[in-house]
Amino acid sequence: MTYIDAHVHVWTNEFDRYPLSPPHQESDMNPKTFYPDELLAHAEPSGVNRIVLIQMSYYQFDNTYMLDVMEAYPGVFSGIAIVDWEAERPDETMLQLADQGVRGFRIYPKDAPIGNWLDGPGFERMFAAGAAHNLAICPLINPNALPALSRHCDRFPETPVIIDHLSRIGADQPVCDEHIDQLCAMAKHPKVMVKVSAFYALGEKAPPYDDLAPLIRRVYDAFGANRLMWASDCPFQVADHTYEDSIALIRDRLNFLSDADKDQILRKTAEDFFFPV
């Protein structure tokens, strides 16, 4: 059986061809490079043969490197880009990138007040374009950003939304029921999906990550396997842990998942959205 990793970053030190976006500089890059061949060397031994690339923040709105990798490995990579949501027409940029195989667009609060971080015409255009063209809005957020997201999902119920990394529950503070409740409440929106990912950064932050099982069970019960997708968040997953540590939690260690559930989370949810036939 083969699997799909729904969240990975790649970057290069070819700065003449792919310049970094200020204020990022070479000293920020850790590791200094992470090439697609390095990624596949980690992924393929675990049965992963397709991957969703996430635009790396070092390049900000210049998605060229990610697009070039996608083109160089046809059928292997899909992509989630970043566009400038403060620009006049981010929706037009979304459609241009969609023509090049991009299926989603990462957003995050930046410095906006967390209670209304999605206010503004740029995000409205993005959510409307997502609904019209089946393009995902992919928030990298903490639980305190979920209420504003929920209001936007009420306004744009046809927009696919994919929440990164279990909404980072347990990243900066202990896993708590209040945060899990906030994430599970998002299941009322039928187009919302969740990435079950970045285990190295959540909870006790140590393999085999069994402490995350109750959190994942709650999210599974709320959303169902068909709205969950696994991801490693490489290269950060393999900085101190292994790729196999990540996939093994879903594949081997959660006894509440059936074989069909595992196939759904490890392959089919991401396949249906990011690799449509």
What's the confidence (pLDDT) of residue 277?
A: 81
Inform me whether the pLDDT recorded for 5 exceeds 90: yes
**Which residue type sits at 250?**
I
Whether pTM exceeds 0.95 = yes
The predicted pLDDT at position 94 comes to: 98
Taking CA atoms, 55 is separated from 68, 75, 154, 246, in Å, by 12, 18, 27, 21
162-171 pLDDT, tens digit each: 999 999 999 9
> Do residues 127 and 152 touch, judged by C-beta distance below 8 A?
yes
Mean pLDDT of all residues in 215-227:
98
pLDDT at 273: 98
Question: What's the CA gap between 65 and 19, in Å, rounded?
Answer: 10
Mean pLDDT score of the chain, rounded to an integer? 97
The number of CA neighbours under 13 Å toward the Cβ of 50 is 21
Tell me what pLDDT residue 231 has.
Answer: 98
Give residue-wise pLDDT tens across range 120-150.
999 999 999 999 999 999 999 999 999 999 9
Residues 6+ apart with CB under 8 A from 163: 138, 139, 141, 149, 183, 186, 192, 193, 194, 195
Mean pLDDT of 87-112: 96
Give yes or no for residue 1 having a pLDDT over 90.
Answer: no
Per-residue pLDDT at 71: 98
Amino acid identity, position 79: G
Rounded to whole angstroms, the Cα distance separating 179 from 185 reads 10
How many Å separate Cα 244 from the centre of its chain? Answer: 19
- CB 186 within 8 Å of CB 146: yes
List the domains of the chain with CATH numbers. 3-274 (3.20.20.140)
Predicted pLDDT at 274: 98
